Every structure is written in C-alpha cells, then in structure tokens.
C-alpha cells in the first residue's frame, strides 16, 4: 500500500516513517508539512534517521492524498478538518489520530467516512484499546457505590486536556454504566466544590517532562479501590498501531471505524 504521512517531520511523523518502512507490503508514498517548514525538500528517510527513500518532504496536502492509498493524520483539529474534503475528493482512506476535535470538525470526519474508509482513534496502542474494554466491563460490573476517577499525564508539549485517551476511557466507563459522559463528567475541580456528586466521572490532568502517556481509571469504594493503568514508554506503539490500521483499510468499505474494528475486539 502507498501510505502518505501528514506532519511527517514531527516526532510522531518520523516514527510513522520508520514504522511504514518496516512493514511488509507498505511504502511511504508521500510526506507533507505546512508551507514554509524548515525541513521541506529533505528526504523522508533522512528525516527519520534511516536510509534515504527517494521521497522528499512536501507542502501540498492535496498531492499527498492523490498519491496515497491511505493517509495517516496526526495533526491538529483545524488542519484535520481541512483534510476531510481531500480524503473524500480523492477517494483516499484516512487514519486519524488527531484529538480535541470540536463538533463541527467531527462532523467533517463523519461526512468523509460516507465516501472512504476512515479509522479514527484517540489512541492506536493495542494495550490502550484493551484497557478501554476493561474499563467498560469494570464500570458495568461494579455497583454505583464505586466512584470513577480518571487521571492522565503527558509531556509538557501536549496542547489539549484532558487527553483524547482519557476522554475515551470516560466514554467507556459511561457506556458501562449506561449514561452519557457529558451528563456526568467533571473535567476539573477548583475551590470549594462541595461533596462529590454520586455518579460523576472525574478527570485529573498532569503535564510535565517527556512523559509519553500514562492513563489510570480508578474505581473507589468504601474499603477498596480498583485501578486499571496503562503506561506508554515509546511513541512506537502508536505508530505501529496506526500503520496496522492503515493496512486494514485496504479491504474496507466506506465507513467510520475504530481500533476495536481493526483489532477485532
């Protein structure tokens, strides 16, 4: 498969180049960055610290979609929204790891999925997606007397909070309890908040250093506490999962899919 990588010069982009290069049956067809980027014109293999591959970093996202069977997109919500039209126009499958999308931006993704296969995930790690299933099962199994709190920590450069993975854990917990997360979520606490409201799902966000991603779901009751935790030590797990999803789209009809579909959970 010809795989295009948007944001190819970034930390995740370089990891994706290496992951595609190491995958049988896949080649890096194109890589792009925003116009004016300092690395434009450099060979993608050189950017990733491997042998040159004869494909240089460009700034034309439309050309990238045209040259690719599937595009992997780890960018920003606003940029990802503009790619929805390109994916639909060129009939190019699309793998999205961008988090923090607003309602209109998510609508653009959903509309693109009417014409092409789209895999969207807050986290492409196999372990995290298993964690989401465990969180939903725990929330469904444990009585409502267990309070649910979700904590996450990421590196100092992360711009959205809570993380997309933390929110996905919240949705999993809410699904297990048969409620809507928007109705029960507490995204932050400050000042005199009063007692914790029964049934709430709370979030705590930490930022610092070079932490790749730590996530914990806590189920706390009188006399006992259950904690489900995933800790990522390298972005390689996200890159490998995204490439796996990209390869999976080859035989899929248009639609909006998740990593649960890719992994067969």
**Domains (ranges, CATH) in the chain?**
2-120+235-263 (3.40.50.720), 126-232 (3.30.360.10)
pLDDT of 218-228, one tens digit each?
999 999 999 99
154 catalytic, yes or no?
A: yes
* Confidence (pTM): 0.79
Q: What is the C-alpha separation between 205 and 188, in angstroms, rounded?
A: 8
174: nearest Cα among 144, 197, 196: 144
Catalytic residue from among 90, 154, 215, 230: 154
pLDDT attached to residue 123: 87
Q: What value does the mean pLDDT take over residues 210-234?
A: 96
235 pLDDT higher than 90: no
Q: What is the C-alpha separation between 248 and 244, in angstroms, rounded?
A: 6
pLDDT of 103-146, one tens digit each?
999 999 999 999 999 999 988 999 999 999 999 999 999 999 99
158 catalytic, yes or no?
A: yes
pLDDT attached to residue 97: 92
Q: What is the dihedral of CA 62, 63, 69, 73, to 10 degrees?
A: -50
164: nearest Cα among 174, 154, 156: 154
- pLDDT band of 96, cuts 50, 70, 90: very high
Position of tokens 């029964």? 198
**In b/e form, how buried is each residue of 91-104, taking b as 16+ CB within 10 angstroms?**
ebbbbbbbbbbeee
Q: What value does the mean pLDDT take over residues 14-43?
A: 96
- In Å, how far are 55, 186, 223 from 41, measured between CA atoms? 9, 46, 61
Q: What is the C-alpha separation between 165 and 222, in angstroms, rounded?
A: 27
pLDDT attached to residue 122: 84
H-only helix segments in 56-152 = 61-67, 77-90, 103-112, 126-141
């Amino acid at each position: 498969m010809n795989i295009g990588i948007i944001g190819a010069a970034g930390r995740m982009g370089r990891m994706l180049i290496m992951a595609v290069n190491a995958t049988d049956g896949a080649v890096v067809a194109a890589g792009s960055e925003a116009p004016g980027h300092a690395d434009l014109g450099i060979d993608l293999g050189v950017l990733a610290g491997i042998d040159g591959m004869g494909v240089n970093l460009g700034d034309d996202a439309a050309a990238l979609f045209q040259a690719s069977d599937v595009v992997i997109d780890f960018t920003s919500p606003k940029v990802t929204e503009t790619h929805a039209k390109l994916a639909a126009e060129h009939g190019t499958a699309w793998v999205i790891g961008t988090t923090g999308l607003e309602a209109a931006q998510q609508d653009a993704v959903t509309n693109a999925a009417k014409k092409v296969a789209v895999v969207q995930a807050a986290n492409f790690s196999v372990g995290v997606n298993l964690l989401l299933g465990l969180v939903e099962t725990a929330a469904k199994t444990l009585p409502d007397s267990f309070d649910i709190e979700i904590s996450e920590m990421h590196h100092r450069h992360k711009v959205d909070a809570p993380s997309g993975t933390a929110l996905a854990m919240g949705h999993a917990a809410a699904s297990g309890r048969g409620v809507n997360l928007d109705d029960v979520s507490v995204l932050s606490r400050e000042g005199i908040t009063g007692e914790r409201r029964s049934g709430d799902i709370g979030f705590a966000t930490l930022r610092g250093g070079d932490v790749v991603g730590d996530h914990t779901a806590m189920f706390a009751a009188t006399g006992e506490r259950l904690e489900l935790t995933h800790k990522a030590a390298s972005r390689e797990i996200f890159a490998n999962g995204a490439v796996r999803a990209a390869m999976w789209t080859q035989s899929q009809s248009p639609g909006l899919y998740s990593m649960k579909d890719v992994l067969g959970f």
